[in-house]
Amino acid sequence: MSTIRVGHLYPEYLNIYADRGNIAVFARRAAWRGHELEVTSIGMKDAIVPGMHDLYYIGGGQDREQLLVAGNLAAKSQPLIDAVIGGGAALLAVCGGYQLLGRRYRGFHGEDMAGVGLLPLETVAGSRRMIGDVLLECELEPGVRRTLAGFENHAGRTRLDPGAEPLGRVVSGFGNDGESGFEGCRLGRALGTYLHGPLLPRNPWLADWLLAQALAHRTGGEPPELPPLPDELESRAHEVSAGRARARGGKR
């Protein structure tokens, strides 16, 4: 049995659309395989120490909450970059957290927030919100294509740098900007996405991928192949969400 150490960034501020449920999914799927999840809240007064955590999680929030934490998070940018990019920890960032991990985010009312600069992107809020069920096609492992289903609700238009890797291709929904046909961003073991809902209960394969990356960081080895779980309910949740997305009639 291994202990997977999770650093949950600003849970008191960035927890919209039940995104805290992603932590619950990590905990249960780890426990079912004999691993323990040790979750530490990293708030305004807490330092990020490279090597201390195997997996970082940052959820979503509205512009007000993002503005409250943006300066504090930007001041911790180098330790977080060292932990994830340099040290190989896994990371999942959702919506508001995803936006703040880029270089900058300009909010709907013109608030200019410095980002962490971990992910190769910038975000500017537009006048129209992009809302609804969304379906992606992803290939996190070469030759293995899977789908992600979730719910998006954001005004941000996120532009990836040339050559940056998106999390997935939009099958139905808006994605990063409603134009590029891509959603989210991936850099090594770090993933950013607009998918809420929360994301992981209906996409257990992604939870397992992140847990395997976290275990690889913990042991210093390769990501292990996790024993399969009876995911009938999770698969049904995915099918329902994917069906709603497909009913939208493709990318808007």
* Residue closest to 66 by CA, chosen among 15, 103, 8: 15
Tokens encoding 108 = 């709907």
Within 13 Å of residue 99, how many CA atoms lie on the same side as its CB?
A: 32
The reply to whether 95 belongs to the active site is yes
Catalytic one of 8, 53, 95, 238 = 95
CA distance 84 to 187: 9
Q: Return the residue matching tokens 């975000």.
A: 123
The reply to whether 35 belongs to the active site is no
Catalytic one of 35, 53, 196, 217 = 196
Given a contact cutoff of 8 angstroms between Cβ atoms, the answer to whether 171 and 246 are in contact is yes
Angle at alpha carbon of residue 155, lines to 152 and 160, rounded to 5°:
85
Instruction: Tell me the catalytic residues.
Output: 95, 196
